[in-house]
C-alpha cells in the first residue's frame, strides 16, 4: 500500500509551532476529524510501546474511533520497572481502549540467551518484535489500517539518509496495511504538548528517551535474567531519586548499566563476588554530542547506598564521567 496520499503529507513551511494548550487542542480537533474521515468504520492496529509518540497516537485514535482501534502492547522483558503496568492502567483501565497485552518475556529472553554481539542482539529484538506483532495481527479480522508514531524528524532523517525508520513498518507481505500517521508533521516538543492536552500523565508525556531494544543495551554482553533484573531495579532507584531531588525534568537522559563482570567485595563480614552498577546521566540537544551531568555528591552517595543494599547481586556503584564523544550515550 505504499504511495498512499496520507503518507505524502508534509509539514507546511509556515506551520506555527504548537507551544500552547490552545494550539494543541486545535491540532487535536483537526486530527480527530481527519482520522474519522480516513478510517470510516474500519479497524486500525497500533503497536503501543508506552513511549510518548505511540501513546499520543493511541489517545488520538481512541478519541476519533474508539474501539475500532486495536492496540497491541508487547512486553519483551526489556522494559523499565512499572512500564507494562502503566500502559495497561492508562489505556485499558482509564481510557477503556481495546488493548491486547502480550507477555513475550520468556520468548525474547530465550532467543537472546548466550548472544553477546550488540548488533545481533538488536537484530533479534527487532525481528522478534515484528514476529510477535505479526502473530497478533493475523489473529485479528478486518484490520485495514496500521497506525504509527512517526514524527517529523523521523521523516527528515530518513530523507537525509541518516537513519531508516521502520517503526512497525517492516511487517511481512500478507500484513501490508494502509498507514495512519497522525503525528507525522510534529516535532517532539509538539507531540508532548498534544499529549498533555489529551490528558496523558506527565510520566508518559515527559518520559526521557528510551531505546527500542530497551534495557537489552544496558545489560552489555549476553543477557541473563538476574543481571537484567539488577539493571531494572537499579534504574528504578535512580529514576525515583532523580524525581525526588528535582533532577527529573532537568537531566536529559539517565540510566544504569550492569556490565558482565564481577568484582570482590564484602557483605555482612563475608567476601562476595558481584556486579557493579554504572550510573550514566547526560545532557544533550540532539544526542549527537553529550555532556555529563554534575550530580551532587551527597545524592550520589545516597543512591549508591540504596543500590548496594536494595539490588540483588550488586556490590559496587560507578559513575560514568565520559562525554559523547568519545563514549556514545548507550553502552551498545
The residues binding ligand XMP (CB under 6 A) are 122, 209, 211-213, 253, 287, 324, 328-330
Instruction: Give residue 162's region: left, alpha or beta (phi > 0; psi -120 to 50).
Output: alpha
Instruction: Tell me the backbone φ, ψ of residue 292, rounded to 5 degrees.
Output: -90, 135
Q: Which residue has the cell 488493548?
A: 99
| Helices of type H across 165-224 | 188-197, 202-205
Nearer to ligand XMP, 316 or 324 (CB): 324
DSSP, residue by residue, 80-137: PTTHHHHHIIIIIIIT--EEEEEE-HHHHHHHHTT---HHHHHHHHHHHHHHHHHHHH
Question: What 3-state DSSP class applies to 214?
Answer: helix
Here the cell at position 165 is 525508520
Nearer to ligand XMP, 111 or 122 (CB): 122
Nearer to ligand XMP, 62 or 281 (CB): 281
Q: Please state the closest distance from residue 23 (CB atom) to ligand XMP, in A.
A: 27
Nearer to ligand XMP, 77 or 308 (CB): 77
Nearer to ligand XMP, 47 or 70 (CB): 47
Q: Which residue has the cell 550492569?
A: 258
Q: Which residue has the cell 556514545?
A: 328
Beta strand 291-292 with 270-283 is antiparallel
Q: Please state the closest distance from residue 289 (CB atom) to ligand XMP, in A.
A: 9
Nearer to ligand XMP, 52 or 70 (CB): 52
Residue 172 burial by Cβ neighbours in a 10 Å radius (0-12, 13-18, 19+): exposed
Neighbours of 111 (CB within 10 A): 17
Nearer to ligand XMP, 274 or 293 (CB): 293
With DSSP H G I counted as helix, E B as strand and the rest as coil, what are the percentages for the chain, rounded to 5? 45, 20, 40
Q: Please state the closest distance from residue 332 (CB atom) to ligand XMP, in A.
A: 8
Q: Please state the closest distance from residue 302 (CB atom) to ligand XMP, in A.
A: 25
Q: How far apart are CA 156 and CA 151, in angstroms?
A: 9
Q: Please state the closest distance from residue 41 (CB atom) to ligand XMP, in A.
A: 34
Q: Please state the closest distance from residue 287 (CB atom) to ligand XMP, in A.
A: 4
Q: How far apart are CA 244 and CA 116, in angstroms?
A: 35
Q: Please state the closest distance from residue 31 (CB atom) to ligand XMP, in A.
A: 24
Nearer to ligand XMP, 166 or 316 (CB): 166
Q: Please state the closest distance from residue 216 (CB atom) to ligand XMP, in A.
A: 9
Amino acid at each position: 500500500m505504499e504511495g498512499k496520499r496520507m503518507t505524502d503529507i508534509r509539514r507546511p513551511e509556515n506551520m506555527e509551532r504548537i507551544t500552547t494548550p490552545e494550539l494543541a487542542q486545535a491540532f487535536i480537533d483537526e486530527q480527530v476529524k481527519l482520522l474519522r474521515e480516513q478510517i470510516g468504520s474500519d479497524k486500525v492496529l497500533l503497536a503501543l510501546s508506552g513511549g510518548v509518540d505511540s501513546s499520543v497516537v493511541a489517545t488520538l485514535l481512541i478519541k476519533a474511533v474508539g474501539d475500532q482501534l486495536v492496540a497491541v502492547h508487547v512486553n519483551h522483558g526489556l522494559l523499565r520497572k512499572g512500564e507494562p503496568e502503566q500502559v495497561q492502567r492508562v489505556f485499558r483501565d482509564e481510557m477503556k481502549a481495546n488493548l491486547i497485552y502480550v507477555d513475550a518475556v520468556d520468548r525474547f529472553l530465550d532467543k537472546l540467551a548466550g548472544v553477546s554481539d550488540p548488533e545481533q542482539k538488536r537484530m533479534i529484538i527487532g525481528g522478534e518484535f515484528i514476529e510477535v506483532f505479526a502473530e497478533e495481527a493475523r489473529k485479528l479480522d478486518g484490520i485495514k489500517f496500521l497506525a504509527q508514531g512517526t514524527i517529523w524528524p523521523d521523516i527528515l532523517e530518513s530523507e537525509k539518509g541518516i537513519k531508516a525508520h521502520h517503526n512497525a513498518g517492516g511487517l511481512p507481505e500478507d500484513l501490508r496495511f494502509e498507514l495512519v500517521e497522525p503525528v507525522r508533521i510534529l516535532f517532539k516538543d509538539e507531540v508532548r504538548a498534544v499529549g498533555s492536552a489529551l490528558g496523558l500523565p506527565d510520566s508518559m508525556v515527559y518520559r526521557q528517551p528510551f531505546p527500542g531494544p530497551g534495557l537489552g543495551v544496558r545489560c552489555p554482553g549476553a543477557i541473563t535474567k538476574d543481571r537484567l533484573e539488577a539493571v531494572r531495579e537499579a534504574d528504578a532507584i535512580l529514576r525515583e531519586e532523580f524525581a525526588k531531588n528535582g533532577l527529573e525534568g532537568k537531566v536529559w537522559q539517565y540510566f544504569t548499566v550492569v556490565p558482565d563482570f564481577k568484582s570482590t567485595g564484602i557483605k555482612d563480614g563475608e567476601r562476595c563476588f558481584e556486579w557493579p552498577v554504572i550510573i550514566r546521566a547526560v545532557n544533550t540537544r540532539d544526542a549527537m554530542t553529550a555532556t555529563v551531568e554534575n550530580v551532587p555528591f551527597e545524592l550520589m552517595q545516597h543512591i549508591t547506598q540504596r543500590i548496594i543494599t536494595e539490588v540483588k547481586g550488586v556490590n559496587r556503584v560507578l559513575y560514568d564521567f565520559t562525554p559523547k564523544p568519545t563514549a556514545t550515550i548507550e553502552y551498545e
